[in-house]
A and B are shown apart, each in its own frame.
Chain A
Amino acid sequence: MMREMTGAEMVMQALIDQGVEHMFGYPGGAVLPIYDAMFHQNQVKHILVRHEQGAVHMAEGYARSSGKVGVVLVTSGPGATNAVTGLTDALLDSIPLVCITGQVPTHLIGSDAFQECDTVGITRPCTKHNYLVRDINDLARVMHEAFYVAQNGRPGPVVVDIPKDVQFAKGMYVGPENIQHRTYQPRLKGDPEKIKAAVEMLAKAKRPILYTGGGVINSGPEASRLLREFARLSGYPVTSTLMGLGAFPASDKQWLGMLGMHGTYEANMAMHDCDVMVCIGARFDDRITGRVDAFSPGSKKIHIDIDPSSINKNIKVDLPIIGDVKHVLEDMLTMWRAMKAEPDRKAIAGWWGQIDKWRARKSLAFKPSDRIIKPQQAIKALYDQVKDKDVYITTEVGQHQMWAAQHFHFEEPNRWMTSGGLGTMGYGLPAAIGAQVAHPESLVIDIAGEASIQMCLQELSTALQFDLPIKIFVLNNEYMGMVRQWQDLLHGGRYSHSYSESLPDFVKLAEAYGGVGIRCSNPADLDGAIHEMISVNRPVLFDCLVDKMENCLPMIPSGKPHNEMILPDHPEALDEAIDEEGKMLV
């Protein structure tokens, strides 16, 4: 399709042609022409946010829960700089986004004009790719390329910076069908020789483990299905990173729970003692590995990843397979069957015997109380009431996030949205709004803390404006709990500025926004209050007053290997867990 139109019209037309149904944005001087073009159409619905950081997190929640590209529209200068945290978050968690930023007209670029900033300069290290479109004749192509780059290969955020004069200029629009990227052609199929070698290695394994991550989710629902098929066929245990939860059903007996710093004892011990590890769409992040020189010392490591730069970045692996998880798992299954591979049943049974012993330590155990709500108890109560519903969970960052990962269980991919890599407080509420926009009929809950929730709380107004009945479940312990926990660990319990002073009355605050506020402090009332929360078809802010001093366990202290976990039955070990070297780490 070739048609003459203005730059602003091209932007809207490109969004329509890319199948975009929703975008998240905030107007300003440098994007007014695009907002005007938006006014003349009704195919793309615009969600007006209250702060640009919120727009990007909404687009992330939308993308992660739907598998589509999230779209953001912000103005120049502060609009763009406010988006930077969200873009960095999306880069670290590999979320496909296209963020359109307005820019001052080309003749003013470099003159320190009003609301000018070097958007492409600032966002270069926090995007997968970015463009400054100086010529109207490049605009349509760049828009389509941006969508291609955002979602192909390892997904990520792409910024398209468009000066205002280019938005007004007229040119010929080209549709997405004629766009082919010159250089960016990521490899999807794994090397068959390597896949064969992997199958041979796996079939011979005596103590195997499948260590999965967010890449399985990014590869699409088919990848999760293939993972389940391979696990069933082999009988091997499965664990996952924070980002990969839901790819493998938590109710399955082969599921070991999450691994890493606050993962289960059985998952971490199995990682440490395994003889063959397959890392599928994960990246050996420092939350996962603990001390790298003591990481899984006796294992052969296979690493499946679409991004070659993830290979050997933190941990040296024996067999790298570059490719998309879905394709590689598909070929692995075909190869496994063609080779008539048989797992070593006797050895695997022995391995499960060992894993069951670790499981028996019950590393996620906690003591419920009838006097005070334990945070774990609150998550468990929430889970028990909503597990059979069509539910999406987002979180903020901190203790509540880890408790949610431990005590809320997922059966399906794309149901769990959290800021893993960057650890962005303030992510959960806007992400919940994004997920609710993508799934208007579903129950969407942001599990939050009283500190994190205040970082993007203004978006409650967005939820009200667009009738998005999200639930915000705040575990209120009046502390930045994870900071306080680390001050216990490293700084002699001196709680420097980690107390949440001058908290608002969250119930009144919810009501002030026009939402519903609920407070609960008595364990006996918890189930009823949660029931009330999920029964209301309006945004709810639930202020759940929990035990102020609970620490998040189990935990691998920083600088320690997997087999030196602190378990909830020996919490006193936290006091001297970290040595001088470990203190340097985060």
Chain B
Amino acid sequence: MSTVKEPAERHTLSMLVDNEPGVLARIVGLFSGRGYNIDSLTVSEVSHASHLSRITVVTTGAPPIIEQIKSQLDRLVPVHRVVDLTVVGKSVERELALIKVRGKGEVRQEALLIADSFRARTVDTTLESFVFEITGKPEKIDQFVSLLEPLGLVEVSRTGVAAIGRGAEGM
């Protein structure tokens, strides 16, 4: 590797894998065993008929490391395809989060206002709490959470990033 340290980049990788036991462990084990980062990971079956799952990994690393990650993933036997959505063109990234806030009086009002301006939905209400549902880019969710922090933030549950390329073509 060249000695000039290249700055780390954030890449979103999407892969189609056989939906079989152990496939997620293979992917996660590859990242931990070789010392790569996982910033976010989502996995779910996308085709029941052909037993395919789609895994989206957000990772950070210098460009040669990103290349290594892709080719290491690609040589796993149950991995059909690996696409780097960050380099192939424009893509859409979305994440869903559920956020619980606790409070009374004015802060309650304030939380509702902020939720409204972020187009978050209220999915659970008690006299002293709300659970908001928000969907968007990870940065938007980060921002929403940080605004709720002083208003009695209790807990956050995030799905991790799901991503898909723009345009008519599939991966």
Contact = CB atoms under 8 A, between A and B. Distances in A.
Interface in B58-85: 64, 67-68, 71-72, 74-80
A423 interface: no
Contact of B1 (A121, A153, A308, A314): A314
Interface stretch (A122-130, A235-243, A404-412): A122-130
Nearest to B17: A183
B126 interface: no
Interface residues of B, number: 22
Contacts of A371: none
Nearest to B63: A312
A289 to B, nearest CB: 10
B95 interface: no
Contacts of B2: 293, 316
A114 interface: no
Contacts of B77: 128-129, 149, 183-184
A309 B80 contact: no
Nearest to A181: B77
Interface string B15-42: 0001001100110010001000000000
A92 interface: no
Contact of B74 (A129, A293, A308): A308
A292 interface: yes
Given A312-B64, A316-B2, A183 B75 contact: no
Contacts of B78: 183
A309 B79 contact: no
A313 B68 contact: yes
Interface in A136-193: 149, 153-154, 182-184
Contacts of B25: 121, 124
A470 B80 CA distance: 45
A557 B74 CA distance: 35
B47 to A, nearest CB: 13
A564 interface: no
A20 interface: no
B68 A124 contact: no
A386 interface: no
A124 B71 CA distance: 18
A129 B71 CA distance: 16
Contacts of B67: 312
B18 A182 contact: yes
Contacts of A314: 1
Contact of B71 (A120, A132, A309): A309
B157 interface: no
Interface in B149-170: none
A152 to B, nearest CB: 10
A124 B26 contact: yes
Interface in A263-309: 292-293, 307-309
Interface of B is mostly: mixed
A149 B77 CA distance: 8
Chain A, interface size: which category?
Answer: 20 to 34
B1 A183 contact: no
B45 to A, nearest CB: 16
B117 interface: no
Contact of A292 (B1, B21, B75, B76): B1
Contacts of A182: 18, 80
Interface in A311-325: 311-316
Contacts of B1: 292, 312, 314-316
Given A125-B29, A149-B77, A183 B18 contact: yes
B80 A183 contact: yes
Given A124-B22, A132-B21, A307-B75, A312 B68 contact: yes
Contacts of A121: 22, 25
Contacts of B26: 124
Nearest to B32: A125
A293 B3 contact: yes
A183 B51 CA distance: 13
Interface in A101-143: 120-121, 124-125, 128-130, 132
A184 B75 CA distance: 8
Contacts of A149: 77
A130 B29 CA distance: 14
A305 to B, nearest CB: 11
B22 A132 contact: yes
Nearest to B81: A183
A125 B68 contact: no
Contacts of B68: 309, 312-313
A144 B118 CA distance: 55
A293 B80 CA distance: 35
A153 to B, nearest CB: 8
Contacts of B64: 312, 316
Nearest to A126: B33
Contacts of B22: 120-121, 124, 130, 132
A309 B75 contact: yes
A60 to B, nearest CB: 21
A253 B35 CA distance: 44
A312 to B, nearest CB: 6
Contacts of A316: 1-2, 64
A293 B18 CA distance: 40
A348 to B, nearest CB: 29
A132 B77 CA distance: 14
Contact of A311 (B18, B21, B29, B71): B71
Contacts of B74: 308-309
Top 4 closest pairs, chain A to chain B, by CB: A309-B71, A293-B3, A129-B77, A308-B71
Given A308-B74, A308-B75, A314-B1, 20 more contacts: A124-B26, A125-B33, A128-B77, A132-B22, A153-B75, A154-B75, A182-B18, A182-B80, A183-B77, A183-B78, A183-B80, A292-B1, A293-B2, A308-B71, A309-B68, A309-B72, A309-B75, A312-B1, A312-B68, A316-B1
18 contacts: A121-B25, A124-B22, A124-B26, A124-B29, A129-B76, A129-B77, A182-B18, A183-B18, A183-B78, A183-B79, A183-B80, A292-B1, A307-B75, A309-B71, A312-B64, A313-B68, A315-B1, A316-B1
